[in-house]
Structure 1
Amino acid sequence: MTAPTAPHALDPARTALVLVDLMDRIVALPLEPHTGREVLARCEELAARFRAAGAPVVLVRVERPGVTEQPPGSDLAHGLLRDGDIEIVKRTIGGFHLTGLDDRLRGQGVETLVFGGIATNLGVESTARAAGDLGYELIFVEDAMTAFTAPEHTASVTLDFPRLGTVAPAAEIAFRKD
């Protein structure tokens, strides 16, 4: 008997995890419907699964343009970045504009992006919309992202994201076994 296929069985050679703005100063904010710590923990679990499968992990963080020193807590959350991960520094709301992210992903043969991070309706959605415009298949991990208010998060995951790709819980993200 064959084991059932996971609802979102992904090809690790063509899939990357994109985690947006998981920086201490952002994770610590009052967020809904999931706390920043809950989202960080779920994203760390997803990143471990992607690394174990040999799939790329992209960590996007923001820096404020035109300032000599970034605010405290502007680095990625402690321990999140691992050898082999792709760190992207953005200076706009989305992670693609003038960052070289598309070239790096295409250079690795990536066609599908799995998203998590903070804030659902801002950095995550802006990065995902650009990715969609570039032709990537999109998967949104609902419980691996959060926003400043629950209604903002809910609007993105129930109204916007289903039009751009697939929305799924972290438990359904798995890699196919060939």
Structure 2
Amino acid sequence: MDLGSIKPERTGLVIVDLQNDFLHPEGAYARGGQKNADISALPESVLPIAEELRQKGGWIVSTHFTLVPGKAGEPFISPHLKELRPFLTKGDFTPGGWGHALVDPLQPADLSVEKVAYSAFYMTRLEWVLKKAGIDTLIFCGIVTNGGVASTVRDAHVRDFKTIVLSDGCAAFSRDTHDQSMGDLGTVSTIMTCAEAQTLIEGL
């Protein structure tokens, strides 16, 4: 990718699923015993990039994993997810709820999109709002590297967005899984550290 062609006002930092129910000590995953130091550290790592991009006129785009409530508020949960995360229950990842929201340090987002699968492009308005905003370059951070991040990056790639993935701005529940996924994503995206991306944005 030609880094010299990047324009800050056409660039979006895509924050994949850094939500209270995933990260906060009182969120759904902490309640289920699913804590991870690498994931917990992400907001602090990503914040300087978000602040710099805001100052340069860029966009903050937040994707939100969502459990859509059905009758009596009981969520629709895919069988594979229910097997992996049996602790998920009514009220978790509910649209408009506290647990569904972007973590406080990274707020506010300019654009927010609910998603129901790994990719934030699947059955969502993400591509539409990105095009309306004039965004052609996406810098990715968030969780999990091998799931929501990887799927969304690949879908962005086939839609001809220029993409950058922050190697230390993403995390998975396993460091080995994260490292392997970063290697795979290097075939379709430019890989940078948070420090390298901040330097890039500062120079735009």
Bin for the TM-score computed over the shorter chain: 0.7 to 0.9
Query: Please, which of 14, 27, 40 is the counterpart of residue 18 of structure 1?
Result: 14
Bigger radius of gyration, 1 or 2? Answer: 2
- Name the count of aligned residue pairs: 168
CA contact (8 A) 1:24 1:74 kept: yes
Deviation of 1:57 (Å): 0.7
User: What does residue 175 of structure 1 align with?
Assistant: 201
User: What does residue 138 of structure 2 align with?
Assistant: 113
User: What does residue 91 of structure 2 align with?
Assistant: 70
Report whether the alignment pairs 1:57 with 2:60. yes
In the alignment, the residues of structure 2 paired with residue 161 and residue 144 of structure 1 have an alpha-carbon distance, to the nearest angstrom, of 14
Deviation of 1:128 (Å): 0.8
> Given the two structures, how large is their TM-score scaled by the length of structure 1?
0.85
User: What does residue 103 of structure 1 align with?
Assistant: 128
Alignment of 1:87-98 (within 5 A): 87-98=112-123
Q: Secondary structure at the match of 2:119?
A: coil
CA contact (8 A) 1:26 1:118 kept: no
CA contact (8 A) 1:116 1:145 kept: yes
Bigger RCO of structures 1 and 2 (CA < 8 A, at least 6 apart): 1
Share of identical aligned residues, percent? 27
Report whether the alignment pairs 1:80 with 2:99. no
Query: Please, which of 50, 70, 73 is the counterpart of residue 47 of structure 1?
Result: 50
Structure ranking higher in helix proportion: 2
User: What does residue 35 of structure 1 align with?
Assistant: 38
> Given the two structures, how large is their TM-score scaled by the length of structure 2?
0.75
Kindly provide the CA deviation profile for residues 45-97 of structure 1, in whole angstroms up to 9, marking residues without a partner as x: 22111111110110111111344253172322124222x61111111111112
